[in-house]
């Protein structure tokens, strides 16, 4: 029983702890591209054993190289991101040099075109060309250099996201969050970094039900039973990483717990957790479902988009037959096309045996007399077929973003970038 519930709870935590959307702001070059690129130390041999402070990143815009925001994030021997602040920070060994499991982090929106290496700044001991995407149709390029005397970095005030541990608030250029509980209690869409905005949700919720022996024994848990403690965090120019330990008390004095990393960017949020399945639910004749979803306050007029389907009828507090058909459709991503021209996009990346889970859209709209807008919009995911899982370690990642478009082709491209990150190639050019 404990093992099966642990699995369900970890899945729910891996979803609802991260389903708080962020937003894009238009920019130059590749500004419409969502997502992030990690330049790993393994293929970038010229970066290994270099001090992180010696690294600089440029991209070609208008045929000239310009510095772009980046940060170097280290991993420890257990492949966890190194967090240097908070009550339980972890450390890299050895520290102070770029290792094979470390990464240079850059936003896809900051990528540029392929440029002439001869135009790159002088003084670097080595330059590497970073190509994101295939050779035939790359998303863009960046150039990473190692300097004995590196140029100055932009001001820390120009960071893309900011975390305030004393208030448990996260600020991005187009979103703001507050963790008044283990899950977000405030989700707002704003126009500038530092604005707190108006709350857009009644809550972010999760529920899980486990059945044993064909339903003879049932166990239910939801977000009200979740408890959390902050372990550590790291703030940089490109992203903020916040790690928490979550747990739920179980009968007979047991409890299930796990760690979740939240990564906050200027235009999206990523949540990752590693599921450790020690005993297959099949062996204990267990099955169940879980839901993780937003309870939005007012998204009147929004339309739902799923995979290859056409956008639904507008949200109007009435579930038409067409909307009902979408409400349980298998999918790895779903989007809300908003009347203001933006799109809320949710995507789930399942690895390994987790691909057997078959996530479905969890969607409903009803009238509520206690709501100022008179409506309730539930939007998220439901998991079934949990008995298909097998033993092992499996990673679950959830992405939430707001795109500055309602064009169906652009939304599908963004979803594909999150679900299947483009290849990254590294080559020494100077």
The CATH number linked to 231 is 2.70.98
Torsions phi, psi for 276 (to 5 deg) = -110, 105
Confidence bin at 270 (pLDDT 50/70/90):
very high
Closest CA to 88 of 193, 245, 202, 227: 245
| Tens of pLDDT, residues 11-66 | 554 455 444 333 333 333 455 788 999 999 999 999 999 999 999 999 999 999 99
Residue 12 domain-assigned (yes or no): yes
Q: Is residue 30 part of a domain?
A: no
Same domain for 46 and 182? no
Per-residue pLDDT for 69 more than 80? Answer: yes
Query: How far is C-alpha 265 from the chain's CA centre?
Result: 9
Binned at pLDDT 50, 70 and 90, residue 4 comes out as: very low
| pLDDT level of residue 297 (50, 70, 90 thresholds) | confident
pLDDT at 209: 73
DSSP label at residue 282: G
- Domain limits at 99? 36-154+423-428
Residue at 90 is within a domain: yes
Q: Read out DSSP for 49-107?
A: TS-GGGEEEEEEETTEEEE---EEE-B-TTSPBP--BSSS----SS-SS--TT-EEEEE
In a domain, 405, yes or no: yes
Same domain for 123 and 210?
Answer: no
CB 360 within 8 A of CB 236: no
Q: Does residue 91 sit in the same domain as residue 112?
A: yes
Evaluate whether residue 139 is within a structural domain: yes
235/9: higher pLDDT: 235
Shared-domain flag, residues 321 and 189: yes
Average pLDDT over residues 67-80: 93
**Rg of the chain on CA atoms, in Å:** 22
* pLDDT, averaged across the chain: 83
Q: Which residue has the higher pLDDT, 25 or 361?
A: 361
Q: What is the rounded CA–CA span in Å between residue 7 and residue 256?
A: 9
Structure tokens given for 56: 């600089």
Q: Which of 59-68, 76-85, 317-326 has the lowest mean pLDDT?
A: 317-326
Using alpha carbons, list the distances in angstroms from residue 92 to 43, 74, 99, 101, 419: 20, 7, 9, 10, 29
Q: Which two tokens stand for residue 36?
A: 């992030």
Q: Looking at the structure, tell me whether residues 231 and 257 fall in a common domain.
A: yes
- For residues 192 and 57, state if they share a domain: no
pLDDT, residue 28, reads: 36
Same domain? For 277 and 247 the reply is yes
Residue with the bigger pLDDT between 132 and 358: it is 132
pLDDT digits (tens, 9 = 90+) for 252-261: 555 667 788 9
Residue 142 has pLDDT above 80, yes or no: yes
Residue 181: the pLDDT is 85
Point out the least confidently predicted range of 115-124, 213-222, 380-389. Answer: 213-222
d(CA 65, CA 145): 12
Place of tokens 């050895």: 94
Buried-state track 297-333, b at ≥16 Cβ within 10 A, e below 16: bbbbebbbbbeeeebbebbeeebeeebeebbeeebbb
Do 10 and 90 fall into the same domain?
no
pLDDT digits (tens, 9 = 90+) for 147-202: 999 988 877 667 899 999 999 999 998 889 999 888 889 999 888 899 999 998 88
314: pLDDT confidence band, cut at 50, 70 and 90? Answer: very high
Query: Exposed e or buried b for every residue in 261-296, given b needs 16+ CB within 10 A?
Result: bbbbbbbbbbbbbbbebebbbeeeebbbbbbbbbeb
Q: CA 122 to CA 188: how far, in whole Å?
A: 44
How far apart are the C-alpha atoms of 36 and 397, rounded to whole Å?
14
Residues 173 and 243 in one domain: yes
Q: Is residue 31 in a domain?
A: no
**From CA 244, how far away is CA 260, in angstroms rounded?**
6
Domain assignment present for residue 398? The answer is yes
Domain total in the chain: 2
State whether 70 and 198 are in the same domain.
no
Same domain, 150 and 255: no
Name the token pair of 411: 């939304």
Dihedral class, residue 22 (left if φ above 0, else alpha if ψ from -120 to 50, else beta):
beta
Q: Is residue 230 part of a domain?
A: yes
pLDDT for the residue numbered 158: 76
Helices (H) and strands (E) in the chain, counts: 3, 26
Domain identity same for 165 and 150 = no
């Amino acid at each position: 029983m404990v093992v099966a519930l642990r699995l369900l709870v970890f899945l729910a935590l891996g979803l609802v702890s991260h389903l708080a959307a962020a937003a894009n702001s238009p920019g130059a070059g590749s500004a419409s591209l969502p997502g992030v690129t990690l330049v790993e130390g393994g293929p970038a041999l010229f970066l290994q054993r270099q001090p992180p402070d010696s690294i600089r990143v440029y991209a070609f815009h208008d045929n000239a190289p310009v510095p772009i925001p980046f940060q170097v994030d280290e991993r420890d021997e257990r492949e966890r991101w190194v967090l240097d602040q908070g009550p339980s920070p972890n450390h890299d060994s050895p520290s102070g040099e770029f290792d094979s499991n470390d990464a240079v982090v850059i936003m896809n929106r900051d990528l540029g075109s392929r440029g002439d290496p001869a135009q790159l700044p002088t003084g670097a001991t080595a330059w590497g060309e970073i190509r994101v995407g295939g050779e035939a149709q790359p998303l863009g390029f960046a150039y990473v250099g190692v300097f004995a005397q590196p140029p100055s970095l932009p001001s820390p005030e120009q960071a893309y996201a900011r975390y305030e541990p004393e208030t448990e608030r996260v600020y991005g250029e187009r979103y703001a969050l507050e963790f008044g509980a283990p899950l977000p209690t405030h989700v707002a869409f704003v126009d500038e970094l530092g604005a707190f905005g108006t709350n857009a949700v009644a809550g972010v919720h999760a529920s899980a039900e486990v059945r044993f022996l064909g339903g003879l024994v049932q166990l239910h848990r939801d977000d009200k039973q979740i408890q959390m403690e902050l372990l550590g965090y790291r703030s940089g120019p490109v992203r903020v990483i916040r790690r928490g330990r979550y747990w739920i008390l179980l009968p007979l004095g047991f409890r299930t717990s796990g760690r979740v990393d939240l990564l906050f960017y200027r235009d999206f949020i990523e949540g990752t957790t590693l599921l450790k399945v020690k005993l297959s639910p099949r062996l204990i004749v267990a099955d169940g479902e879980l839901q993780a979803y937003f309870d939005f306050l007012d998204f009147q007029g929004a339309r739902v988009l799923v995979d290859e389907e056409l956008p639904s009828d507008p949200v109007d507090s009435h579930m038409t037959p067409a909307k009902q058909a979408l409400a349980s459709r298998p999918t790895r991503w779903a989007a809300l096309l908003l009347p203001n021209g933006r799109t809320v996009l949710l995507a789930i990346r399942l690895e390994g045996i987790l691909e057997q889970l078959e996530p479905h859209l969890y969607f409903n709209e009803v009238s509520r007399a206690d709501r100022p807008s008179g409506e309730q919009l539930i939007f998220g995911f439901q998991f079934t077929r949990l008995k298909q899982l097998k033993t092992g370690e499996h990673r679950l990642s959830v992405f939430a973003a707001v795109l500055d478009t309602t064009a169906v082709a652009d939304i599908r491209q963004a979803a594909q970038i999150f679900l299947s990150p483009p290849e990254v190639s590294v080559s020494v050019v100077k």
